[in-house]
């Protein structure tokens, strides 16, 4: 199974260096990854490094906790798109979710979608599935599935639990057919990556991307 075209090569640590982003972009070109996912301050640089290249530039909005005001997320999104981001990975307001304020979450999405879709950018909604109950995950699938987003994404990688096969299976069972599913958080080897894809993931967010795609199993099957 060729996994490289499904991978968002990711570096989001708070101590990210210019050289880290340069390396990330170089590796993304070398291994034909789908995208790089990098901190907002590096979007303009990454856009220049990947100019005229099929690798997409992705960044995060409201990261990592999601409780930024809607207005702040809009401002972040606009700036990211101006700087050259083609894909936005946006963390929902988890405080609203845990307090069962689905009206707030719907309002958040309704304010952000027109801003992002007006520019024809890809929107990935991060729900942090590792800290949610199955019922909460299913309700998220219903809300964001009806919202016509591009991808529902499992995790930021900063919660106590990241991606799981179970969460991806729940996504697949409760999202509209054809909606993207991005698994991220704790994907460090080929076997787990393949299990997630087999469960329904159509994108993978990984920092261990090179190790995953150069695993002997992957090379043998690609």
pLDDT string in tens for the chain (222-residue length)? 789 999 999 999 999 999 999 999 999 999 999 999 999 999 999 999 999 999 999 999 999 999 999 999 999 999 999 999 999 999 999 999 999 999 999 999 999 999 999 999 999 999 999 999 999 999 999 999 999 899 999 999 999 999 999 999 999 999 999 999 999 999 999 999 999 999 999 999 999 999 999 976 655 443
73 is catalytic: no
**DSSP three-state, residue 35:** strand
**Which residue among the candidates 89, 121, 150, 194 is catalytic per the annotation?**
89
Domain membership of residue 160 as a residue range: 4-221
Pairwise CA distance, residues 206 & 115, whole Å: 27
Q: Which CATH number characterizes residue 14's domain?
A: 3.20.20.70
Q: What is the pLDDT of residue 220?
A: 44
Q: Is 158 exposed, middle or buried (0-12, 13-18, 19+ CB in 10 A)?
A: middle
Structure tokens at 200: 């329904």
Tokens representing 167 are: 């969460």
Q: Which residue, chain included where needed, has tokens 């809009």?
A: 74
For 157: left if phi > 0, alpha if psi spans -120 to 50, otherwise beta; the answer is left
Name the domain count of the chain: 1
pLDDT at 221: 44
pLDDT given at position 222: 37
Distance of CA 113 to the CA centre of its chain: 16
Q: Is 20 a catalytic residue?
A: no
Q: Cα dist. 79→14, 82, 92 in Å? A: 19, 5, 18
Q: Is 26 left (phi over 0), alpha (psi -120 to 50) or beta?
A: alpha
- Residue of 56, 124, 139, 182 with catalytic role: 182
89 is catalytic: yes
- 179-190 as b/e, with b when 16 or more CB fall inside 10 Å? bbbbbbbbbeeb
């Amino acid at each position: 199974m060729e996994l490289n075209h499904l991978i968002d090569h990711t570096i989001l640590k708070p101590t990210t260096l210019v050289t880290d982003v340069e390396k990330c972009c170089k590796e993304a070109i070398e291994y034909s990854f789908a995208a790089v996912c990098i901190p907002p301050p590096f979007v303009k640089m990454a856009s220049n490094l990947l100019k005229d290249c099929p690798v997409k530039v992705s960044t995060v909005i409201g990261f990592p906790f999601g409780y930024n005001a809607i207005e702040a997320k809009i401002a972040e999104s606009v700036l990211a798109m101006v700087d050259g981001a083609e894909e936005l990975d946006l963390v929902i307001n988890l405080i609203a979710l845990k307090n069962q304020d689905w009206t707030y979450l719907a309002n958040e999405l309704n304010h952000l979608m027109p801003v992002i879709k007006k520019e024809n950018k890809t929107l990935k909604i991060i729900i942090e599935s590792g800290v949610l109950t199955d019922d909460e995950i299913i309700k998220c699938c219903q809300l964001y599935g009806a919202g016509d987003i591009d991808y529902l994404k499992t995790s930021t990688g900063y919660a106590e639990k990241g991606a799981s096969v179970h969460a991806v299976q729940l996504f697949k069972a409760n999202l509209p057919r054809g909606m993207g599913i991005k698994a991220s958080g704790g994907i460090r080897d080929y076997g787990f990556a393949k299990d997630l894809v087999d469960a329904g993931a159509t994108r993978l967010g990984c920092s261990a991307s090179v190790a995953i795609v150069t695993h002997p199993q992957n090379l043998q099957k690609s």
